[in-house]
Amino acid sequence: MATGRTHRPATRSRGIPEATVARLPLYLRALTALSERSVPTVSSEELAAAAGVNSAKLRKDFSYLGSYGTRGVGYDVEYLVYQISRELGLTQDWPVVIVGIGNLGAALANYGGFASRGFRVAALIDADPAMAGKPVAGIPVQHTDELEKIITDNGVSIGVIATPAGAAQQVCDRLVAAGVTSILNFAPTVLTVPDGVDVRKVDLSIELQILAFHEQRKAGEEAAALDGAVPAPAGRDDSRTDRTERTGRTGGTDQGPDGDVPAVMPA
């Protein structure tokens, strides 16, 4: 059914670049930790270090939110948590369905981090009739026959696909036809979606391959250092943001091959 892939512009309609949007969850995670410790204010340098981001970039990112902090005081932690949550759409409840309740789908269903961040698991769906009615994480699994009704009844706009790769496109098509406009895809396949549908792909094996690449490079540099050619490299955090900074590329919400490759990746 799908005819093309979503290619989002590097800048969102409200003027916030995609690369900034991709860093907002990093700031939010660091700010939430500060908030839990009742820290009232934070400097851009402290927050940048906690989020693993360059502080000049952080100040630029916050300027898009209209948040400039107070000289000598820093940023108000609670207010920034609110501002970023609002910008990310987390001040509202997002019902999510998970399709494919095998090893991964069950683990995701049991993950408490969704609910605490405003993502409510509205339904678990699987094609295996033997699973229908069985509770996983306290939620009875429903058969795929019910998929369209579940999406409509719960007003679901976000779907998580954790089926085998061969079933993912068909599941994606059904989700989209039923009204889902954002998909988090764990299956190792590239999904085709119509314009207006965002797909984020998660692939831990790609993350491991990137780490393997850096391990190999470090080993080569260390061998060269032993030969007295160049100094051994310092370790580094190869987070999405750092890679974005190095390559100068912006993150995207689509799953094109031109994106960079964080754990939740657009490639």
Ligand X SMILES: NC(=O)c1ccc[n+]([C@@H]2O[C@H](COP(=O)([O-])OP(=O)(O)OC[C@H]3O[C@@H](n4cnc5c(N)ncnc54)[C@H](O)[C@@H]3O)[C@@H](O)[C@H]2O)c1
The binding site for NAD(+) comprises 100-105
Q: Does 151 contact ligand X by CB under 6 A?
A: no
Q: Which is nearer to ligand X, 80 or 171 (CB)?
A: 171
List binding-site positions.
100-105
Q: Which is nearer to ligand X, 74 or 100 (CB)?
A: 100
Q: Does 124 contact ligand X by CB under 6 A?
A: no
143/213 Cα distance (integer angstroms): 41
Residue 11 CB neighbour total at 10 angstroms: 15
DSSP E strand stretches across the chain:
41-42, 75-76, 94-99, 119-126, 135-136, 139-143, 158-161, 182-185, 198-202, 264-265
How many residues bind ligand X, per CB under 6 A? 25
Of 55-63, 82-90, 181-189, 225-233, the segment contacting ligand X by CB under 6 A is: 181-189
Q: For strand 139-143 and strand 158-161, is the pairing parallel, antiparallel, or unpaired?
A: unpaired
Residue choice 9, 140, 188, 220 for contact with ligand X (CB under 6 A): 188
Q: Does 187 contact ligand X by CB under 6 A?
A: yes
178/157 Cα distance (integer angstroms): 9
249/257 Cα distance (integer angstroms): 12
Q: Does 171 contact ligand X by CB under 6 A?
A: yes
Query: Residue 105 in contact with residue 75, Cβ under 8 Å?
Result: no
Q: Does 186 contact ligand X by CB under 6 A?
A: yes
Least distance to ligand X from the beta carbon of 169, Å?
10
Query: Residue 215 in contact with residue 235, Cβ under 8 Å?
Result: no
Q: Does 163 contact ligand X by CB under 6 A?
A: yes
Binding map of ligand X across residues 67-106, x = CB under 6 A, - = no contact: --------------------------------xxxxxxx-
Q: Spell out the alpha helix ranges (H) of 37-93.
A: 44-51, 55-64, 77-87
Q: Does 162 contact ligand X by CB under 6 A?
A: yes
Binding site for ligand X (CB under 6 A): 99-105, 125-128, 144, 162-165, 167, 170-171, 186-188, 202-204
